[in-house]
Chains A and B, each alone.
Chain A
């Protein structure tokens, strides 16, 4: 659809002619291929998200507010995105106004003493981290990586990542926020209204932040967030990361108070025991099962390649043939990475000793091959900065997560091996990368202080190969079937199919209703429907905000 001239003009009057376009070529650059990495939806070959009616780049909350009011006036759906991670950031309805928030990219405040920053949507994790480190602070980086918007992750999606353990996930760290609600009214939550300071996001009284996001955010379907405050945490390292090395083997040498270990265990039970002991003891700065995303059989070979600038992916088979690589691969089957950071020399000495005692109690070990300087320093940079997201796609250009067992450590640990072996049988069919079945990665601690985990089974495929894409979809369908049979529920491979279908458009209502009615608490979606009616009466978002009408 082309917007009527007077409507286009009204939007142009808000943002200026250079910040609006309905040129088809521009609009097509704001579409997303579902064959690439649909993120928990299933890859669909040669399918794109719908073309928008226009794309606008607002420069302020005031402009956003004016745009949203016009959308209400003309009953046009809108969707804002800051860094466009995955299909969720793109409309699922035709003729949607797309807001590209990249112009609003200021760090408005960095409060060193009270450890928080106030950011606009376009501020990415890497930028905030770099600025925070200058004053001895750090920010959580979500699993989507440091090139993603801090605000988008904190307000609108999930916000989990390797630094959950010490730094807290974005759910924990989101303080006050500024929200242009779907009607165009502005809500600021917490202390800022009374005090002008953003240090608290809750209240006064019942917290209306609970409308803005719950376990998940509204994924761009309920208005536009224009500012938020994010809690930071201590960074006892240098003011800038002293990055060195040759691409892709960038690494960082940090003070003696930093440690990067890969720990491995004889059983999943021991693996979970160690996680619990780490949480109970209160050690650790980051903890993640990270490099297993390359697969149980390939991970150490990939680490060797990625830390050696003379090697490429083409050397994989040769590296895998090395008996020493095979020995270490076997040694690190059930592993995870942990970074210890001492606030002082005594602190790191105690954490180190405590970790040794935990390994002693669980029969675990440190994978010493991961502790050589070039790998140790690469791991430090990888996990602290989380800037290597290109490696999600390194094997074949496409990936998505399967299973996604989420919850108590014992719950996931009890089923991880079965899920891994199931995937292994599918890897032999050839559509997905044969990596060892167990490609589970996720945080050791899904929230601040630990307590939960997430097992995302990375599934890599070739988005340009129809057989690979369709074979992956077949595998994902089988995963979902298995999850339902086993009582694990629908895995992450289909989490977003409730909102968007195989054509890239909104899932038909009957299908959405069927899924919501089969949820453990359908009333959750009924309440979300009531909230949508109250806060978004013209229904100008898409089905990523999940609702169910009363019977």
Chain B
């Protein structure tokens, strides 16, 4: 132990090594039935060279590494060591915004950069990055994008990894590689001026390197910077509600908006989900749940930098017409909730406490990809499972987020619970396991298979499992990167 500690101190200095780090209680929100381990050390590298040295050291000593970029609470257990003698690699200190390039709408950022840090800086340059629904203020932008967390604006996702572009990757074998066009990383200002910039995500060459670290949860390597595509910031924005009592009534309307790429933010919440977003306290949430419409499409329109008002007006009218076509109403206010209030909330990271935890202090998520037309069937399944496990259906927050310009849809169930209540936690754990299995059997695609979902998914997909193991052996031959996750 002491020898290892000395070796790590030699790499990052004494201040960069923490003995016996206490795993934040929030890690324990992951209520999956699997063994977790206390890490031996936490190490804080300050640059890519130190990251490389740490990984090389891990290969020499066969020490498991668990990269962590975001602050807590961690809900999914991916930062929780599942191998003994692990070392947490805390990247939150690498938080430089290396470059904001207005012309090419790119931001080059380190893994510790959070949404709350990045958005104000982008705004100064007339840019913004599309975000997930209410990310934690301390959520690493890179971690979120690597995890393929869905973003609120599907129209900007020409592929599922958007807006992630080039990366600097330290693989599990200690090699450094620039993916995409990251070799043009603009170390000199004149390179940016010349247009030698990391604009591309794919490649280079005939492999798509960034796809190997995507949704890998640190099991392939560590990303030390990324270029992120940005959108134009505009003060001119409007948000609307399109409510309905039945989810089915909103599906075709949403498809039509997706097809025409009308709207910027575009997603669906049930009354409980919207209450979790809007409510600041459990009491507020309780009262909102009872008055909000059963289902609401949230659609935002952004003006842009040219003829902003005209664009908003045209789209507002077109969306209005589309709503009428489906016998729906486009509204600026529902049950005392004005859309401007919601817009204000959506444009920033989540207030504290984190929105999914606000109601009962704890929450379990079940999420997967599907297509929008199949979501009503999954909602039925979830409610049936909840009833079977005596979980209150009215507490289930539901978030449906079209992705990849509408080709797919992220379907998420948020299940709040009181962590202190052992009986409630146990019941929820049973519901969580059984509902996930039922949904999987129904065709839900657990594309990001956290925890116990991994066995369920990879047992049904031997081809992918075999390919992943071959790739893992190439990039992390000693399996030092976050062992125990996925199928590794």
Name A residues whose Cβ lies closer than 8 Å to a Cβ of B.
111, 113-116, 136, 168, 171-173, 175, 185-191, 193-197, 199-211, 213-218, 231, 233-234, 236, 276-277, 279-282, 343-344, 346-347, 349-350, 353-354, 357-358, 407-412, 414, 447-449, 451-452, 520-521, 523-525, 527-528, 530-531, 534-535, 545-546
10 contacts between A and B (CB under 8 A): A187-B463, A194-B461, A197-B445, A204-B454, A206-B216, A206-B471, A208-B467, A231-B405, A280-B304, A281-B304
Min CB gap A530→B, angstroms: 5
Residues of B within 8 A of A451 (CB): 104-105, 199, 229
Q: Do residues A525 and B467 form an inter-chain contact, with CB atoms below 8 A?
A: no
Q: Which residues of A contact B448 (CB under 8 A)?
A: 203-205
Q: Are B461 and A448 in contact (CB under 8 A)?
A: no
Does B197 make an interface contact (CB < 8 A)? yes
Say how far B360's CB is from chain A's closest CB, in angstroms.
30
CA distance A218 to B203 in the complex (A): 12
B156 within 8 A of A: yes
**Chain A residues with Cβ under 8 A from B440's Cβ?**
194
Q: Cβ of A407 and Cβ of B181 under 8 Å apart?
A: yes
Report the separation of the CA atoms of residues A281 and B373 in the bound assembly, to the nearest whole angstrom. 31
Provide the residues of chain A in CB contact with B204, threshold 8 Å. 214-215, 521, 524
In the bound complex, do residue A204 and residue B461 qualify as a contact, i.e. CB atoms below 8 Å apart?
A: yes
Tell whether, in the assembled complex, residue B211 and residue A207 are in contact, meaning their CB atoms are under 8 Å apart.
yes
Inter-chain contact B232/A280, CB cutoff 8 Å: yes
CB within 8 Å of A: which B8-41 residues: none
Q: Are B196 and A407 in contact (CB under 8 A)?
A: yes
Check: B293 CB closer than 8 A to any chain A CB.
no
Most buried by B among A193, A195, A277, A347: A195
Q: Answer whether A281 and B206 are a contact pair too, CB < 8 Å, given A168-B159, A231-B407.
A: no
Chain B residues, Cβ within 8 Å of A349: 314
| Cα(A414)–Cα(B204), bound, Å | 23
Q: Give the distance in Å from the alpha carbon of A131 to the alpha carbon of B16 in the complex.
A: 60
Contact A528 B206 (CB under 8 A): yes
Beyond A113-B373, A214-B205, A276-B103, whether A206 also contacts B215 by CB under 8 A is yes
**What B residues does A216 contact at CB under 8 A?**
203, 205-206
* C-alpha gap A206/B216 in the complex (Å): 5
B interface vs A, CB < 8 Å?
103-105, 148, 156, 158-162, 175, 177-178, 180-181, 183-184, 193-197, 199-200, 202-217, 219-220, 229, 232, 255, 258-262, 304-307, 310-311, 314-315, 317-318, 321, 369-373, 404-408, 440, 443-449, 454, 457-458, 460-461, 463-464, 466-468, 470-471, 473-475, 486-487
| Nearest CB of A to B164, in Å | 12
Quick check: B406 and A452 within 8 Å, CB to CB? no
**B105: A residues at CB distance < 8 A:** 279-280, 451
**Cα A503 to Cα B183 with chains together (Å):** 33
A344 x B159 contact (CB < 8 A): no
Query: Which of chain A's residues have a CB closer than 8 A to the CB of B406?
Result: 114-115
* B408 A114 Cβ-Cβ under 8 A: yes
B371 A113 Cβ-Cβ under 8 A: yes
Residue pair A280, B197 in contact (C-beta under 8 Å): no
Chain A nearest CB: distance from B208 CB in Å?
3
A358 to B307, CA, bound (A): 10
Q: Name the one of A116, A350, A408, A448 contacting B199, with C-beta atoms under 8 angstroms.
A: A408
Across the interface, do B370 and A410 meet the contact criterion of CB distance under 8 Å? Answer: no
Within the complex, the shortest CB–CB distance from B430 to chain A, in Å, comes to 23
In the complex, what distance in Å separates the CA atom of A234 from the CA atom of B156? Answer: 15
- What distance in Å separates the Cβ of A24 from its nearest Cβ neighbour in chain B? 33
B248 CB to closest chain A CB (Å) equals 13
Q: Indicate if the CB atoms of A172 and B158 lie closer than 8 Å.
A: yes
- CB-CB under 8 A for A199 and B104, given A114-B372, A234-B261: no
CA distance A330 to B281 in the complex (A): 68
- When C-beta atoms are compared, the residue in chain A nearest to B215 turns out to be A205
Q: How far is the CA of A190 from the CA of B464 in the complex (A)?
A: 9
Q: Which listed residue, A136, A191, A449, touches B369 by the CB 8 Å rule?
A: A191
Q: Please give, as numbers and ranges, the residues of chain A lying within 8 Å of B460 by CB-CB distance.
A: 193-194
A347 CB, min distance to chain B CBs, angstroms? 6
Known: A214-B209, A414-B194. 13 other contacts (CB 8 A): A115-B407, A194-B446, A194-B457, A195-B444, A202-B214, A203-B449, A206-B212, A206-B216, A210-B212, A343-B261, A350-B310, A520-B183, A535-B467
CB of B369 within 8 A of CB of A200, answer yes
Contact status of A535 and B470, CB under 8 A, knowing A200-B408, A215-B204: yes
Nearest CB of chain B from residue A44's CB, rounded to whole Å: 24
B409 shortest CB reach to chain A, Å: 9
Contacts of B193 in A (CB 8 A): 410
Cβ–Cβ < 8 Å partners of A523 in chain B: 175, 177
Q: Assess whether B449 is in contact with A343, with CB atoms less than 8 Å apart.
A: no
The smallest beta-carbon distance between B196 and chain A, in angstroms, is 6
Q: Which residue of A lies closest to B371 (CB)?
A: A114
What's the least CB distance linking B400 to chain A, in Å? 14
Q: Is the CB of A358 within 8 A of B259?
A: no
What's the dominant secondary structure at chain A's contact region?
mixed
Contacts of B458 in A (CB 8 A): 204
Cα A190 to Cα B184 with chains together (Å): 30
Cα–Cα, bound, A215→B210 (Å): 11
Give which listed residue, B148, B202, B219, contacts A202 with CB less than 8 A: B148
Chain A residues within an 8 Å CB radius of B255: 113
Q: How far is the CA of A549 from the CA of B309 in the complex (A)?
A: 58
Residue pair B208, A408 in contact (C-beta under 8 Å):
no
> Given the complex of chains A and B, what is the CA–CA distance between A452 and B454 in angstroms?
37
**Contact B468–A343 (Cβ < 8 Å):** no
Report Cα–Cα, A163/B204, bound state, in Å. 22
The reply to whether A357 and B467 form a contact with Cβ atoms under 8 Å apart is no
A357 to B474, CA, bound (A): 52
Q: Determine the residue in chain B with the shortest Cβ distance to A533.
A: B474
8 closest cross-chain pairs (CB), A and B: A448-B158, A215-B203, A210-B211, A411-B195, A408-B195, A210-B208, A410-B195, A207-B211
List, in ascending order, chain B residues with CB within 8 A of A202's CB: 148, 160-161, 211, 214-215, 447
Task: For residue A27, give the distance in angstroms from its CB to the closest CB of chain B.
Answer: 28
Whole-angstrom CA separation of A82 from B168 in the bound complex: 36
Q: Which of A116, A203, A527 contacts B407 (CB 8 A)?
A: A116
Complex Cα distance, B449 from A282, in Å, reads: 34
Query: Is B177 a contact partner of A452 (Cβ separation < 8 A)?
Result: no
A203 touches B447 (CB 8 A): yes
A296 to B: closest C-beta gap in Å: 22
| C-alpha gap A13/B437 in the complex (Å) | 43
A231 contacts across to B, CB distance below 8 A: 404-405, 407
| Chain A nearest Cβ from B366, distance in angstroms | 15
> Closest CB-CB distance, B466 to chain A, in whole Å?
7
- Assembly CA distance A61 to B210 (angstroms): 29
Q: Is A208 within 8 A of B464, CB to CB?
A: yes
- Which of chain A's residues has its CB closest to B251's CB? A113
Asked if A521 and B208 sit within 8 Å, CB to CB, the answer is no
Residues of B within 8 A of A186 (CB): 463
Q: Across the interface, which residues of B come within 8 angstroms of A189, CB to CB?
A: 464
A102 CB, min distance to chain B CBs, angstroms: 25
How far, in angstroms, from A165 to B104 measured CA to CA in the complex? 15
Cβ distance A462 to chain B, nearest Cβ, rounded Å: 34
Chain A nearest CB from B44 CB (Å) reads 26
List chain A residues, Cβ under 8 A from B208: 207, 209-211, 213-215
Q: How far is the CB of A385 from chain B (nearest CB, A)?
A: 21
* Inter-subunit contact A205/B195 (CB<8 Å): no
In the complex the two chains form, is A200's CB within 8 Å of B215's CB?
no
Contact B177 A524 (CB under 8 A): yes
User: With A206-B468, A343-B318, A531-B474 given, is the CB distance from A195 to B195 under 8 Å?
Assistant: no
A residues less than 8 Å from B104 (CB atoms): 408, 451
On chain B, the residues within 8 Å of A528 by CB distance are 205-207
Alpha-carbon gap, A204 to B181, bound state (A): 25
- Knowing A199-B407, A214-B208, A357-B306, the reply to whether A234 touches B259 (Cβ < 8 A) is yes
The CA of A409 and the CA of B195, in the complex, are separated in Å by 7
Known: A197-B371, A280-B305, A528-B206. A408 touches B408 (CB 8 A): no
B306: contacting residue among A168, A281, A409, A447, CB under 8 A: A281
Would you give the shortest CB distance from A187 to chain B, in whole angstroms? 4
